[in-house]
């Protein structure tokens, strides 16, 4: 067993920003940062469009109150407004701090940080580094961390969170290169494990976004919050689902259907292509359903619509969104200067997650927290995004709440004691679990079962949902779950066994999928990204509350708890 005052699982923006804050406030704290990828290969590196903050460099009418209102309205009034106020108020400060750390933001001619429009934001407030914002920020954070007392466990896979008597005590980790198992004991454990896009068959997320942290938390008997709210990004490149950033529409691109019409005029006339993502995704899915999508041969009735940049001109495209041009060119063979890009909605972001307080402490239930356990970033739900996240608010959440949670941990270390932990049973159980996977004699390949799980979620819990569909989905998921015992590993080595990791990740996908479906079935209303054709209206009387889902061997138990409304009363949401 190895001891660290703090163990952080996840090397993306949230994990790195939290680590940096602990280092700044308590410089000699021994910290382990564990990540199954190298930290700079975390999905944060792929963020393109930008990070929101009311710097007022372009629009001096902007204010934190306006940012907060846009965020709450975008969330369909499910966000906790005290959390949103902190997000909006701290935003300028964290962005300037990033600049001081060395992040190369794009500039206005006078040298100040440039800001672009983004969906659902009423002012021009998104700061960016061309269309490689996540790359610029994550690399600087990682480089800054190298000068502190952080031990990196890169390419270590965390298998289990150890919680005893509502106290987090450690994690069981597996070294991917050598197959070694290790228990890490800590006074404070922070999960910053990112999203779960791989639960679905079409996603903008990287291969590592398999919801491991969520599944480990659920297996430890702790709840997950608002998991039914899955963000579908409107412009996934057809057919791969890779993201074409919202920055492209922020810079002026149009969405057009088979008739060449800018159809957003029917769905969000005041915002057009810059409506929030839930509305734009539903609009595209509706156009496709009604036969106004496009086929690869250009005829009507097909599975995608066009994102049209042609009027923007080569100079704007190549200077503001060069990476998006390159993606479309490399992956779809489209030259966006002269041809429209085929797009359709793709699973992009998890609004729900591990429920946390404003200090990042994980909730054991609606009333109490778990000692020594924290979460931040996409895997956490604080909740600033409610039922639908606005673009450029996620990088912001990682940095604002990464910093806050890091500060909370630095403070709490003064009174957190070393937990009493016998690592032996945990190591043994993990060892046995791996041996059992190697010994399975079935005839199913992992990729096959995974595809079935992903298809099940896309078919039964997609943009449009009904009780009938989701009940079918839950049934099918039970069948798929029972088939897990039949998967057979071809590779029995302990050295760099990616097949073994895929098997472990698949088990996590199954847990997360079930929780999403159960929450979605229980929520009999339409709000934000969760759209029920059998309950098409928002129902504030019964469902203006957060879901808490507990994973149990015999199914998922659902509870609810209240939304914090300190600033704005709910109102009709039109754009
Ligand atoms: C293509 C794309 C573009 C985006 N663009 C924007 C944008 O422009 N603006 C914006 O605000 N948001 C954007 N987002 C969303 C935003 O990037 C993410 O929500 C955010 O970066 C998540 O950061 P994170 O630190 O929470 O997690 P991640 O960056 O996903 O990092 C997760 C970390 O956890 C580790 N990990 C996971 N499981 C385990 C395990 N079992 N054991 C050990 N380690 C583990 C991983 O290795 C990784 O280091 C985008 C997302 C995508 C997919």
Residue 36 CB less than 6 A away from ligand 1: yes
46 touches ligand 1 (CB under 6 Å): yes
Residue 157 beta carbon below 6 angstroms from any ligand 1 atom: yes
CATH numbers and ranges of domains, the chain: 230-346 (3.90.700.10), 424-558 (1.20.58.100)
Query: Is the CB of 31 inside a 6 Å radius of any atom of ligand 1?
Result: no
Q: Among residues 32, 37, 38, which one has the least CA distance to residue 185?
A: 32
Which residue's C-alpha comes closest to atom 37 of ligand 1?
193
Write the residue with the smallest CA distance to atom 18 of ligand 1.
44
Q: Which residues are catalytic?
A: 277
Taking only the tens of pLDDT, the chain with its 575 residues reads 999 999 999 999 999 999 999 999 999 999 999 999 999 999 999 999 999 999 999 999 999 999 999 999 999 999 999 999 999 999 999 999 999 999 999 999 999 999 999 999 999 999 999 999 999 999 999 999 999 989 999 999 999 999 999 999 999 999 999 999 999 999 999 999 999 999 999 999 999 999 999 999 999 999 999 999 999 999 999 998 999 999 999 999 999 999 999 999 999 999 999 999 999 999 999 999 999 999 999 999 999 999 999 999 999 999 999 999 999 999 999 999 999 999 999 999 999 999 999 999 999 999 999 999 999 999 999 999 999 999 999 999 999 999 999 999 999 999 999 999 999 999 999 999 999 999 999 999 999 999 999 999 999 999 999 999 999 999 999 999 999 999 999 999 999 999 999 999 999 999 999 999 999 999 999 999 999 999 999 999 999 999 999 999 889 999 999 999 999 999 999 99
What is d(CA 69, CA 56) in angstroms, rounded to the nearest whole number? Answer: 16
The CA 347 to ligand 1 mean position distance, Å, reads: 14
Neighbours of 181 (CB within 10 A): 18
Among 9, 42, 320, which residue has the most ligand 1 atoms within 8 Å of its CB, making it the best to mutate? 42
Whether the bond into 38 is cis, omega within 30 of 0? no
pTM of the model: 0.97
Cis before 383? omega within 30: yes
- Atom of ligand 1 minimally distant from the CA of 379: 26
Q: Which of 394, 403, 504 for a ligand 1 pocket mutation test, highest count of atoms within 8 Å of Cβ? A: 394
Cα 207 to Cα 191: distance, rounded to the nearest angstrom: 18
Which residues have CB under 8 Å from 60's CB, separation 6+?
Answer: none
- Please list the residues that pair with 181 across neighbouring strands: 174
H helix or E strand, kind and range, residue 94: helix 81-101
Does ligand 1 come within 6 angstroms of the Cβ of 145?
no
Ligand 1 atom 11 nearest Cα = 392
CA–CA distance, 136 with 147 (Å, rounded to integer): 18
468 C-alpha to ligand 1 centroid (Å): 33
Q: Residue 330: CB partners within 8 Å, gap ≥ 6?
A: none
pLDDT of residue 402: 98
Structure letter (DSSP) for residue 530: B
Handedness of CA 14, 17, 20, 25 (dihedral sign): negative
- Say yes or no: CB of residue 423 within 6 Å of ligand 1: no
Q: Is 40 in the pocket of ligand 1 (CB under 6 A)?
A: no
d(CA 548, CA 519): 8
Helix axes 13-25, 133-145, angle to 10 degrees: 30
Count of positions (residues) in the chain: 575
Residue nearest to atom 6 of ligand 1 (CA): 47
Whole-number pLDDT of residue 249: 95
pLDDT at 240: 86
Rounded to 5°, angle at Cα 398 from 457 and 67? 95
**Hey, which residues does 354 pair with through a beta bridge?**
380
Helix axes 212-219, 498-522, angle to 10 degrees: 70
């Amino acid at each position: 067993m190895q001891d660290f005052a703090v163990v952080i699982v996840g090397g993306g923006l949230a994990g790195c920003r939290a680590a940096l804050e602990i280092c700044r406030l308590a410089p000699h704290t021994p910290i382990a940062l564990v990540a199954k990828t190298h930290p700079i290969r975390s999905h944060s590196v792929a963020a393109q469009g930008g990070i929101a903050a009311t710097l007022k460099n372009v629009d001096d009418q902007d204010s934190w109150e306006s940012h907060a209102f846009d965020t709450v309205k975008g969330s369909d009034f499910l966000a906790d407004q005290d959390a949103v106020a902190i997000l909006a108020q701290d935003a300028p400060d964290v962005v300037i701090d990033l600049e001081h750390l060395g992040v190369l933001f794009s500039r206005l001619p006078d040298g100040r940080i440039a800001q672009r429009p983004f969906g659902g934001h009423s002012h021009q407030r998104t700061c960016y580094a061309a269309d490689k914002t996540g790359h610029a920020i994550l690399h600087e954070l990682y480089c800054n961390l190298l000068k502190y007392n952080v031990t990196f466990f890169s390419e270590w896979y965390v298998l289990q969170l150890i919680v005893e008597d509502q106290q987090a005590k450690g994690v069981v980790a597996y070294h991917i290169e050598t197959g070694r198992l290790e228990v890490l004991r800590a006074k404070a454990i922070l999960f910053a494990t990112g999203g779960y896009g791989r639960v679905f068959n079409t996603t903008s997320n990287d291969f590592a976004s398999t919801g491991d942290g969520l599944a480990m938390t659920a297996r430890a008997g702790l709840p997950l919050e608002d998991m039914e709210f899955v963000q579908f990004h409107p412009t996934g490149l057809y057919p791969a689902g890779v993201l074409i950033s919202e920055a492209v529409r922020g810079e002026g691109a149009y969405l057009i259907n088979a008739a060449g019409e800018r159809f957003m005029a029917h769905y969000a006339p005041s915002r057009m292509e810059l409506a929030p993502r839930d509305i734009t995704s539903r609009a595209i899915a509706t156009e496709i359903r009604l036969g106004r999508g496009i086929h690869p041969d250009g005829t009507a009735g097909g599975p995608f619509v066009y994102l049209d940049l042609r009027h923007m001109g080569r100079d704007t495209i190549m200077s503001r969104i060069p990476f998006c041009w390159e993606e479309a060119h490399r992956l779809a063979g489209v030259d966006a200067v002269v041809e429209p890009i085929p797009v359709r909605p793709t699973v992009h972001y998890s609004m729900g997650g591990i429920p946390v307080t404003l200090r990042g402490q994980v909730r054991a239930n609606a009333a109490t927290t778990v000692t020594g356990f924290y979460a931040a970033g996409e895997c956490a739900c604080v909740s600033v995004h409610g039922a639908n996240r606005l673009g450029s608010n996620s990088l912001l959440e990682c940095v604002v709440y990464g910093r806050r949670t890091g500060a909370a941990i630095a403070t709490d270390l003064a009174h957190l004691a070393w937990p009493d932990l016998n690592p032996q049973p945990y190591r043994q159980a993990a060892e046995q679990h791996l041996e059992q996977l190697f010994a399975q004699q079935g005839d199913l390949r992992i990729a096959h079962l995974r595809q079935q799980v992903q298809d099940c979620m896309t078919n039964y819990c997609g943009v449009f949902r009904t009780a009938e569909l989701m009940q079918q989905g839950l049934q099918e998921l039970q069948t798929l779950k029972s088939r897990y015992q039949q998967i057979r590993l071809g590779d029995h080595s302990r050295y760099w066994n990616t097949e073994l990791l895929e098997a472990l990740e698949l088990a996590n996908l199954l847990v997360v999928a079930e929780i999403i479906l159960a929450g979605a079935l229980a929520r009999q209303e339409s709000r934000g990204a969760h759209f029920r054709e059998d309950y098409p209206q928002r129902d504030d009387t019964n469902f203006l509350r957060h879901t808490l889902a507990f994973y149990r061997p015999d199914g998922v138990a659902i509870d609810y708890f209240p939304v914090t409304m300190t600033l704005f009363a709910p109102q009709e949401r039109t754009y």
